[in-house]
A and B are shown apart, each in its own frame.
Chain A
Amino acid sequence: MIDAQLLERHGLKPDEYARIVTFLGREPNITELGIFSVMWSEHCSYKSSRVHLKTLPTRGPQVLQGPGENAGAVDIGDGLAAVFKIESHNHPSFIEPYQGAATGVGGIIRDIFTMGARPIALLNSLRFGSLDAPGTRRLVEGVVAGIAGYGNSIGIPTVGGEIAFEPSYAGNPLVNVFCLGIAKASDIIKGVASGAGNSVYYVGAKTGRDGIHGATMASAEFDERSAEKRPAVQVGDPFMEKLLLEACLEVMQTDALVGIQDMGAAGLTCSTTEMGSRGGAGVEIDVSLVPQRETGMTPYEIMLSESQERMLLVVKRGREAEVERIFDKWDLHAVHIGEVTTDGLLRVKDKGAVVAEIPNRALTDEAPLYRRPMEEPEYLAEVRKLDLDALDGQRRLRSSDQDAALLMLLGSPTIGSKQWVYRQYDHMVRTNTINYPGFGAGVVRIKGTGRALALSVDGNGRHCYLDPYRGAMLAVAEAARNVACAGARPLGATNCLNFGNPERPAIMWQFAKAVEGIGAACRALNVPITGGNVSLYNETDGKAIYPTPIIGVVGLLEHADRVVSRRFQKSGDAILLFGVGRGELGGSEYLKVVHDLVRGEPPSLDLDAERALQGLLVALATERLIHSAHDCSDGGLAVTLAECCFDTDGMGAEVTIPDAGGETAAALFGESASRVVVSLSQAHVPAVLQQAAAASVPAQVIGHAGGTHLRIAVAGQTAIDLSIEDAERVWRSAMERYFVRRVA
Chain B
Amino acid sequence: MTFGVVVFPGSNCDEDAFHAAKDLFRQDAEYIWHKDTDLKGADVVILPGGFAHGDYLRTGAMARFSPIMSSVRAFAERGGPVLGICNGFQILLESGLLPGAMLRNRSLKYRCEHVYLRVEQNDTPFTSAAKVGQVLRIPIGHGEGNYFAPPDMLEELEANRQVILRYTDPNGQLGDEWNPNGSVHAIAAICNRSRNVVGMMPHPERACEALLGGEDGRMIFESIVSEMAVR
Contacts and interface: CB of A to CB of B under 8 A. Distances in A.
Contact of A424 (B19, B23, B112): B112
A145 B111 CA distance: 11
B203 interface: yes
Given A423-B112, A560-B211, A242 B19 contact: no
Contacts of B53: 239
A426 B50 contact: no
A238 B110 contact: no
B212 A431 contact: yes
B22 to A, nearest CB: 11
Interface string A420-431: 001111111111
A414 B83 CA distance: 42
A155 B212 contact: no
A166 to B, nearest CB: 25
A390 interface: no
B139 A428 contact: yes
A152 B50 CA distance: 8
Main secondary structure of the interface of B (DSSP, over half): mixed
Interface stretch (B9-17, B89-97, B184-192): B9-17
A705 interface: no
A427 B23 CA distance: 21
A422 B111 CA distance: 9
Contacts of B141: 152, 426, 428-429
B112 A445 contact: no
A153 B206 contact: no
Contacts of A238: 51, 54
Contact of B15 (A149, A426, A430): A430
B51 A430 contact: no
Contact of A431 (B19, B106, B182): B19
Interface string B127-156: 000000000000101010000000000000
B40 interface: no
Contacts of B109: 145, 423-424
B54 A237 contact: yes
Interface residues of A, number: 36
Given A153-B51, A239-B54, A428-B203, A148 B13 contact: no
Interface residues on B, range: 35 or more
A434 interface: yes
B110 A424 contact: yes
A330 interface: yes
Nearest to A332: B9
B54 A429 contact: no
A105 to B, nearest CB: 14
Contact of A152 (B106, B110, B208, B212): B110
Interface in A129-183: 145, 148-149, 152-155
A126 B23 CA distance: 37
Q: Which of A240, A428, A434 has the most CB of B within 10 A?
A: A428
B212 A426 contact: no
Nearest to B209: A431
A530 to B, nearest CB: 27
Interface string A634-661: 0000000000000000000000000000
Contacts of B12: 153-155, 242, 429
A63 to B, nearest CB: 29
A353 interface: no
13 contacts: A152-B143, A153-B10, A153-B12, A153-B54, A154-B12, A239-B55, A423-B112, A424-B112, A426-B141, A428-B141, A428-B206, A431-B16, A447-B23
Given A152-B110, A153-B10, A431-B212, 18 more contacts: A238-B51, A239-B51, A239-B54, A239-B55, A242-B9, A422-B112, A423-B111, A423-B112, A424-B109, A425-B112, A427-B112, A428-B139, A429-B16, A429-B206, A431-B19, A431-B205, A433-B212, A560-B211
Interface of B: 9-10, 12-13, 15-16, 19-20, 23, 49-51, 53-56, 106-107, 109-113, 139, 141, 143, 182, 203, 205-206, 208-209, 211-213
Leading 6 A-B pairs by shortest Cβ distance: A155-B12, A239-B54, A431-B16, A153-B51, A426-B141, A744-B106
